[in-house]
Structure 1
């Protein structure tokens, strides 16, 4: 059964992160996770722009904090 409102689109964890935190800059996330976060991305790029290309360790940390409702607080504190 399809989820209402998705109209055949697939929703996954990365989509949820991008939708909620997509405007967060890589530089902000590097304050939280360290300078190696999203290696190769420019500091001024938005999370939504680099999410697909992120290295696995960075993405794993981000997904973990998102699933445990810790990401909002960490971004606000940074």
Structure 2
């Protein structure tokens, strides 16, 4: 499948849905994309799912909007 613009490094699944970050993605990995301040106060080896629970949100997009 050719690269599609506007997906921020994500890809579309076979059914056409845009894939989302998995809860097992490490905070340190996400800091490479969103900056060193992402998840401040959270260890870099913590999982995204742990950070989401701590912040009381259900998705990465909700977390990013909360921090705006």
Given the two structures, how large is their TM-score scaled by the length of structure 1? 0.44
Q: Which protein has the bigger helix share?
A: 1
Q: Displacement, 1:41?
A: 0.4
**Matched residue SS, 1:21:** coil
Task: Supply the RMSD in Å over aligned alpha carbons.
Answer: 3.0
Higher relative contact order (CA 8 A, sep 6+): 1
* Uncovered stretches (5+) of structure 2, i.e. residues with no partner: 1-19, 56-61
Deviations 1:2-60 (A, max 9, x none): xxxxxxxxxxxxxxx6xx51000000000000000011100000001111224xxx812
The unaligned stretches of length 5 or more in structure 1 are 1-16, 62-78
Number of equivalent positions: 43
- 2:35 match: 34
